[in-house]
Structure 1
Amino acid sequence: MTVTQHTYARRGVLRLGTRRSLMATTQSQMVADRLTALTGATVELVGVTTFGDVTKAQLSQLGGTGVFVSALRDKLIDGEIDFAVHSLKDLPTTPDPRVVIAAVPPRDDPRDALVGPGELAGLAAGARVGTGSPRRVAQLRALRPDLEYVPIRGNADTRIGKIASGELHAVVLASAGLTRIGREAEIAEVFEPDAMLPAPGQGALAVECRAGDDELIELLGALDDPRTRAAVTAERTVLAALEAGCSAPVGAFAADAGHILNLTAAVVALDGTRSVRKSTAGDLSAAMDLGRDLAAAMIAEGAGTLMGERIH
């Protein structure tokens, strides 16, 4: 054992804060199991209810940013939990000096997926497709403007259940989330980034703890994947530089090839008729600069006008 491991063994069980949904607890347990395998630490999950879990409003109406995160951070700062696991796409891009992202584990599939009777191209005109994401709606309208896109809330089971009930013909969800809860067999189509850019950070997790807790930061660092961290840093820097929240119609994806990141981002008008899409490439070590430069190029081409003048 390292000194860090001995220190945390003396502290006893590490408390991992997680939202209470099946998807959240499943991915948090994955992180806990991996940390135990790598370091020998003992971890227990602590369920936390967030504002995003209890509100009935659509996330796009709330701005999306932080609604699943604030309660977990409050528990961290109050010392009720030792660390937390978030879906990285839910994290605000504005840093919180009280906390630090100690690890970004290897990313799962970043793509969006369609659950339904068949692929998007095969749905009849006027079919009702459920999604709570303006980013997905904008890009889906570009692909199939003749479909009806319905805002929905709830966990994956609830959303998929609307197909069986006849309320919807299909729903769009994150491929990684469906796989984590064992529903991947119901995926009818996975959208490649060329057709639908994912949310910045989609498919990745963030392991967060209190700033200044150097021993825990070191321990959790065993989970970190530098290549994933570089990719999601580039994507989230685009989002931050565009001054857009995580519910904005912005997609971004960074694929790494050796030491090179290939970053693509787009802002799409909500009606799907117009978009600004740009790409760039550079070294993994320059992820933040790549994101800033790409966002600047997009703003120069009028990306702000596609977001209701959100960008200044």
Structure 2
Amino acid sequence: MSEDRSLLRVGTRGSALAMAQSGRAAEDIAGADGFELVQVRTHGDKDRTSPLAQIGGTGVFVTAVREALLAGEVDVVVHSAKDLPTAPVPGIALGCVPERADPRDALCARDGLTLAQLPRHAKVGTGSPRRAAQLRRARPDLEVVDIRGNVETRLARALGQDADLDAVVLAAAGLQRLGRDEVISELLSPDVLLPAPAQGALAIECPEPGTSPEDGGLSPFADGLSAADHRPTRAAVAAERALLRTLEAGCSAPVGALGTLGEDGTLTLRGLAISEDGTSVFEGSGTAPVDLEDPLVLVADAERLGQDLAADLLERGAGSVLAGGDDPTSDATTS
């Protein structure tokens, strides 16, 4: 590791996707020659066979890089924002949320087939309970297969020479950041697959003021963090994560959310909780004005919108599907 403290030390997982998105975020903050990437191996990287829900959800990718940050081994860490647990961590602040990439899910199917064109009983792979449930809702005939592995490993299951699946579903943003757009056979509408909360966004965490082990902390990089922060994205992500937190659901739970900011400053949030088999769905939407000029007010307003929508879903029975038990008498599909 370099001892040049003029360089921004960026903690990241070692996967091709993590390295690509961390490098892009670091360049936005510190410039092309002003950073170095520090690879951190996580528990989720070590265990590539167990289902994510079994080993702790996508949060297993976060702990090790956060520990490196708290130990002063790196200056910032870059996460896929959808992987972040919603509970705050003492000593760590959300320093920057860059402009969001495409939040949609992408179908990668043999012969360029769309979801509607897949044959009956086609095998579709995903490691996400949210995607699996919504796929079953859209196409109850499909055989949804749980898969793990990096992007290329998953793609090979559907597009490789020894493919055993008809398609896989991945985040469009990840494929685009890797320059693998050509494998996408269909970008799935949020009306079909509502994305995971904060999907397509990055979260750059830094030490809270006064907690850095080194004198001076992040002062050389504070301007870069501020410049790279995209307030419309921060508002949408704050609302989506507040919904997830209020539902008391983990980041691998079958919950979808998508916030969009209109030109008039109105934030619209859609939310969904769905049973594993896709037959019981609680969904709704809400709107609220947000103040882009004041980041503290912006986040507070956005979080309140997410909390209110989550409270509405819970009042209508969403807790039953998040707890694993469906309520067949509920009006679950009412928006």
* Fold agreement, TM-score > 0.5: yes
Task: State the partner residue of 1:137.
Answer: 132
What is the percentage of aligned positions where both structures have the same residue?
49
SS at the partner of 1:277? strand
2:286 is the alignment partner of 1:292: no
Task: State the partner residue of 2:10.
Answer: 16
Matched residues in 1 for 2:127 and 2:181: separation? 20
Amino acid at match of 1:150: V
Amino acid at match of 1:61: Q
Which stretch of the first structure deviates more once superposed, 161-170 or 258-267?
A: 161-170
Which stretch of the first structure deviates more once superposed, 247-256 or 188-197?
A: 188-197
Q: Is the 8 A contact 2:105 2:169 kept in 1?
A: yes
Q: Is the 8 A contact 2:254 2:322 kept in 1?
A: yes
Amino acid at match of 1:181: L
In the alignment, structure 2 segments of 5+ residues that lack a partner are: 210-216, 291-297, 326-335
Matched residues in 1 for 2:132 and 2:251: separation? 14
SS at the partner of 1:279? strand
Q: Is the 8 A contact 1:76 1:83 kept in 2?
A: yes
2:295 is the alignment partner of 1:301: no
Which stretch of the first structure deviates more once superposed, 10-19 or 191-200?
A: 10-19
In the alignment, structure 1 segments of 5+ residues that lack a partner are: 1-8
Q: Is the 8 A contact 2:107 2:187 kept in 1?
A: yes
Matched residues in 2 for 1:301 and 1:115: separation? 35
Deviation of the 1:62 alpha carbon = 2.5
Q: Give the alignment partner of residue 37 of structure 2, picking from 45, 53, 63.
A: 45
SS at the partner of 2:190? coil
Matched residues in 1 for 2:4 and 2:46: separation? 36
Task: State the partner residue of 1:92.
Answer: 85
* Cα offsets for 1:140-164 (capped at 9, x unmatched): 0000010100111111100001112
Deviation of the 1:206 alpha carbon = 0.5
Matched residues in 1 for 2:218 and 2:305: separation? 29
Measured at CA, do residues 309 and 155 of structure 1 come closer, stay the same or move farther in structure 2, by a change above 3 Å?
closer
Stretches of 4+ moved more than 2 A in 1?
Answer: 9-12, 216-219
Amino acid at match of 1:130: G
Matched residues in 1 for 2:7 and 2:155: separation? 36
Which stretch of the first structure deviates more once superposed, 238-247 or 283-292?
A: 283-292
Task: State the partner residue of 1:242.
Answer: 247
Matched residues in 2 for 1:58 and 1:309: separation? 17
Deviation of the 1:243 alpha carbon = 0.2
Q: Is the 8 A contact 2:137 2:277 kept in 1?
A: yes
Amino acid at match of 2:165: L
Matched residues in 2 for 1:191 and 1:184: separation? 14
RMSD: 1.8
Task: State the partner residue of 1:6.
Answer: none
Amino acid at match of 2:157: K
2:108 is the alignment partner of 1:102: no
Deviation of the 1:10 alpha carbon = 8.0
Which stretch of the first structure deviates more once superposed, 115-124 or 237-246?
A: 115-124
- Please give the residue correspondences for 1:178-189 in structure 2 after superposition, counting only pairs within 5 Å: 178-189=175-186
* TM-score with structure 1 setting the length: 0.93
2:71 is the alignment partner of 1:62: no
Deviation of the 1:89 alpha carbon = 0.3
Task: State the partner residue of 2:293.
Answer: none
Q: Is the 8 A contact 1:14 1:41 kept in 2?
A: no
Q: Give the alignment partner of residue 150 of structure 2, picking from 155, 166, 178.
A: 155
Matched residues in 2 for 1:45 and 1:267: separation? 37
Amino acid at match of 1:129: V
Task: State the partner residue of 1:271.
Answer: 277
Q: Is the 8 A contact 1:63 1:246 kept in 2?
A: no
SS at the partner of 2:61? coil
Matched residues in 1 for 2:58 and 2:120: separation? 33
SS at the partner of 1:146? coil
* Cα offsets for 1:82-131 (capped at 9, x unmatched): 11100000000001121011000000000000001310111111111000
Matched residues in 2 for 1:63 and 1:309: separation? 16
